[in-house]
Structure 1
Amino acid sequence: MSRLLSALTTLVLSLGLALPASATCAGRNLFTEMTPERRAEIEASAAEFPFATGNFWRATRGDEVITIAGTYHFDDPRHAPNIAALTPHITAATTVLVEAGPEEEKALMAHIAQDPSTMVITEGLPLNQRLPTEVWDPLKKALSDRGIPPFMTAKFQPWYVLTLLSIPPCAMTTMTEKPKGLDGAVIDTALAAGVPVRGLEPFDTLFTIFDGMTPEELTEMLVSTLAIEEMSEDYFTTLVDSYFAGESRKAWELMRFVSYDLPGYTRDQIDADFARMEELVSSSRNRAWIPVLTEAAAQGPVFTAFGALHLSGEDGVLNLLQKEGFTLEELPL
Structure 2
Amino acid sequence: MKRILLGFAFCLYAVFSSAQAPKENALLWEISAPDQKKPSYLFGTIHLICPADFLLNDSVKAAVARTQQIALEMDMDDPGMMMAMMKTMNMTDGNELKKLVSESDYARLDQFYRDSVGVGLAMFEKAKPFILMGSLFNSVLACQPQSYETAFVELAGKQQSEVVGLETVEEQMALFDSIPYKDQAKMVLAMIDNLPAARKEFRDLVNLYKSEKINALYTMTTNSHFDLSGSEELLLQDRNRKWIPKIKSKMAEKPTFFAVGAAHLGGESGVIALLRKAGYKVRPVLK
Letter aligned with residue 186 of structure 1: F
Partner of 2:160: 194
Partner of 1:162: 133
1:202, 1:87 → 2: CA distance? 26
Deviates more, 1:279-288 or 1:133-142: 133-142
- Checking the alignment, whether the CA contact within 8 Å between 1:140 and 1:153 is kept in structure 2 is no
Please tell me whether residue 87 in structure 1 is matched to residue 61 in structure 2.
Answer: yes
Partner of 1:108: 81
2:97, 2:224 → 1: CA distance? 28
Matches within 5 A, 1:45-194: 50-51=21-22, 53-64=25-36, 65-75=39-49, 76-82=51-57, 84-103=58-77, 105-113=78-86, 115=87, 118-119=88-89, 126-128=96-98, 130-152=100-122, 155=125, 157=127, 158-165=129-136, 167-169=137-139, 171=141, 174-175=143-144, 181-194=147-160
- Checking the alignment, whether the CA contact within 8 Å between 2:100 and 2:182 is kept in structure 1 is no
TM-score for both structures, normalised by structure 2: 0.78
2:169, 2:220 → 1: CA distance? 30
Letter aligned with residue 92 of structure 1: R
Q: Deviations over 1:44-76 (max 9, x none)?
A: xxx999336421111222143221110112253
Distance 1:289 1:154, change over 3 A: closer
1:255, 1:95 → 2: CA distance? 28
Corresponding residue SS for 2:240: helix
2:257, 2:163 → 1: CA distance? 9
Partner of 2:4: none
Matches within 5 A, 1:242-281: 242-254=208-220, 276-281=230-235
Partner of 1:328: 282
1:204, 1:232 → 2: CA distance? 29
Deviation at residue 214 of structure 1 after TM alignment: 1.9
Deviation at residue 93 of structure 1 after TM alignment: 1.0
Deviation at residue 315 of structure 1 after TM alignment: 1.9
1:133, 1:247 → 2: CA distance? 42
- Checking the alignment, whether the CA contact within 8 Å between 1:49 and 1:313 is kept in structure 2 is no
Gaps of 5+ in 2: 1-8
Distance 1:171 1:141, change over 3 A: farther
Deviation at residue 135 of structure 1 after TM alignment: 2.2
1:285, 1:137 → 2: CA distance? 35
Q: Deviations over 1:191-236 (max 9, x none)?
A: 2112222111112233111011123322333343344234222222
Deviation at residue 141 of structure 1 after TM alignment: 3.9
Deviation at residue 239 of structure 1 after TM alignment: 1.7
- Checking the alignment, whether the CA contact within 8 Å between 1:238 and 1:251 is kept in structure 2 is no
Partner of 1:315: 269
1:244, 1:286 → 2: CA distance? 23
Letter aligned with residue 80 of structure 1: L
Corresponding residue SS for 2:172: helix
Letter aligned with residue 34 of structure 2: G
Quick one: percent identity of the two aligned structures? 21
Distance 1:317 1:257, change over 3 A: closer
Deviation at residue 152 of structure 1 after TM alignment: 4.0
The number of aligned residues is: 271
2:95, 2:241 → 1: CA distance? 37
Deviation at residue 322 of structure 1 after TM alignment: 0.3
Letter aligned with residue 310 of structure 1: H
Partner of 1:208: 174
Distance 1:301 1:49, change over 3 A: closer
Give the counterpart of 1:306 among 260, 277, 282.
260
2:205, 2:126 → 1: CA distance? 26
Letter aligned with residue 81 of structure 2: L
Deviation at residue 248 of structure 1 after TM alignment: 4.7
Please tell me whether residue 240 in structure 1 is matched to residue 200 in structure 2.
Answer: no
2:243, 2:186 → 1: CA distance? 30
Deviation at residue 163 of structure 1 after TM alignment: 3.5
- Checking the alignment, whether the CA contact within 8 Å between 1:69 and 1:305 is kept in structure 2 is yes
Distance 1:217 1:122, change over 3 A: closer
Q: CA RMSD in A?
A: 3.4
Distance 1:307 1:291, change over 3 A: same
Gaps of 5+ in 1: 1-11, 18-46, 260-272
Deviation at residue 308 of structure 1 after TM alignment: 0.6
1:122, 1:299 → 2: CA distance? 38
